[in-house]
Amino acid sequence: PVRGVVSDWHVSATGSPRMSRADAYADARSWVQSNGGRVCPHLAYSNSSLVATEDIAAESLLLSIPLGCCVTQRDVLASTVGRQALRSAESAPASSTAAADVGLAFFLAADAFDETSFFAPYYSLLPLLGGSGEEDDPRALLPRSWPAAELASLLTGSAATLVAAEAERRSVVAD
């Protein structure tokens, strides 16, 4: 059985600064479930993490997120901001993947601050730049800010260790 911390999931209310983290998690859980997803009933929010409130059998489904709850190209194309950003990016000399990324970035930048957005429950779980404490700073979620020991334990045996080491070396040289 699995018990204890399931995942370090740093959360912060971006859509509504008055919303507590526990309320943001409860809101997102309800949103996922009301759209056909599943959240294990034995998961709870506690101290910026999802924790198991009781034993969970191995191979149990913890989360099932429906595609409709995922921000996709469909959402970008359905929004005026996303379509315009995509058109502008496509006219620049870059790959179609880069243009799609630009369209998505602009859509997210606009949509994340719309408290009536369908995705507002998701956005409320994202860390807030400049928030209080490390858990509110999205830079803490980037691998380049993780301790070397944690990176090594997560990436041992992958090509990513070489990339991380090179980035670290360049960072030290730049300083």
pLDDT of residue 138: 59
What is the total residue count of the chain? 175
Residue pair 14/66 in contact (Cβ under 8 Å)? The answer is no
pLDDT confidence tier of residue 130, bands split at 50, 70 and 90: low
Please report where in the chains the tokens 């030290």 appear, as a residue: 172
Task: State pLDDT tens for residues 135-154.
Answer: 555 566 666 677 778 777 77
Task: State pLDDT tens for residues 80-120.
Answer: 998 888 888 877 766 667 778 888 888 998 998 888 999 99
Say if residue 34 is exposed, middle or buried (CB neighbours under 10 Å; 0-12, 13-18, 19+): exposed
Give me the percent of the chain exceeding a pLDDT of 90.
28
CA 153-173-159 angle, 5° bins: 35
pLDDT of residue 57: 92
Higher pLDDT, 175 or 44: 44
The answer on pLDDT for 134 being more than 90 is no
Q: What is the DSSP letter of 59?
A: T
Q: Which helix (H) or strand (E) holds 52?
A: strand 49-56
pLDDT of residue 1: 37
Per the DSSP assignment, residues forming a β-bridge with 43 are 52
Q: What is the mean pLDDT of residues 115-132?
A: 79
Separation between Cα atoms, residue 152 and residue 44, nearest integer Å: 29
* Nearest one of 27, 100, 105 to 69, comparing CA atoms: 27
The pair of structure tokens assigned to 136 is 């509110």
What is the reported pTM? 0.63
> Would you tell me the crossing angle of helices 96-111 and 80-91 to the nearest 10 degrees?
150
Give me the percent of the chain exceeding a pLDDT of 70.
67
Separation between Cα atoms, residue 44 and residue 42, nearest integer Å: 7
pLDDT of residue 9: 35
Residue pair 50/42 in contact (Cβ under 8 Å)? The answer is no
pLDDT of residue 174: 61
